[in-house]
Amino acid sequence: MTVPGLAPVVTPLAPPATGAVFAYAFPVDALIKGLKFAGKIEYAEPLGLLLAASLAVDGWAAGATDWILPMPLSAQRLGERGYNQATEIARVLGRELGCPLAPFAAASRVRDTAPQTGLSRQARRLNVRGAFAAQTAVRGRRLLLVDDVITTGATAAEIARVLLRAGAAAVRVVAVARA
């Protein structure tokens, strides 16, 4: 998808199948920061629409997934923020693609972690190890995990690992931006 002023980026990463639509640069980074840190929940609408349009161009079909899952947020951060930015983006994505959203039915964050900002790739992996749990409801399901930003992919890889170990048939991770 081409949007004036936005630099599209397709970033295939190591399994699970992971990708991001844009580079984490202006104006996408400003929308994400506003959503994440300034309470601008309305910014989830354009971000979710951009993600949905990109998936459509990518040939993704709603029938390829059973549930859309937002990246789980820790109870502490959810309490501080009052909402999960990934849930808000995933809600728009699910509506646009006609795919059910399962924010709490499939996975949760069971351990608070230090913020990932400023950590090395290895430190990020260790930081999120054991931070997630999956419900048995994921068994046999094809899941689309949605996040706002992917940096090293450590968090996405960890939750995908947990979901697959719980019996998920497939996990694909998409994010609005790649830092």
Place 92 in a pLDDT band, splitting at 50, 70 and 90.
Answer: very high
Place 14 in a pLDDT band, splitting at 50, 70 and 90.
Answer: very low
Buried b (16+ CB within 10 A) or exposed e, 139-166: eebebbbbbbbbbbbbbbbbbbbbbbeb
Tens digit of pLDDT for each residue in 59-88? 666 678 899 999 888 888 889 999 999 999
Alpha helices, H only, the chain: 28-37, 44-57, 75-81, 85-97, 121-128, 154-165
Ordered by start, the domain boundaries in the chain are 17-178
HSE-CB at 34 with a 13 A cutoff on CA atoms is: 14
Place 144 in a pLDDT band, splitting at 50, 70 and 90.
Answer: very high
User: What topology does CATH give the domain 17-178?
Assistant: Rossmann fold (3.40.50)
φ and ψ of 175, to 5 deg: -140, 160
Place 161 in a pLDDT band, splitting at 50, 70 and 90.
Answer: confident
Task: Name the range with the highest mean pLDDT among 93-102, 118-127, 129-138.
Answer: 93-102
Closest C-alpha to 150, from 114, 122, 174, 178: 178
Closest C-alpha to 116, from 107, 108, 127: 127
Question: Lowest-confidence range among 2-11, 29-38, 110-119?
Answer: 2-11
Place 133 in a pLDDT band, splitting at 50, 70 and 90.
Answer: low
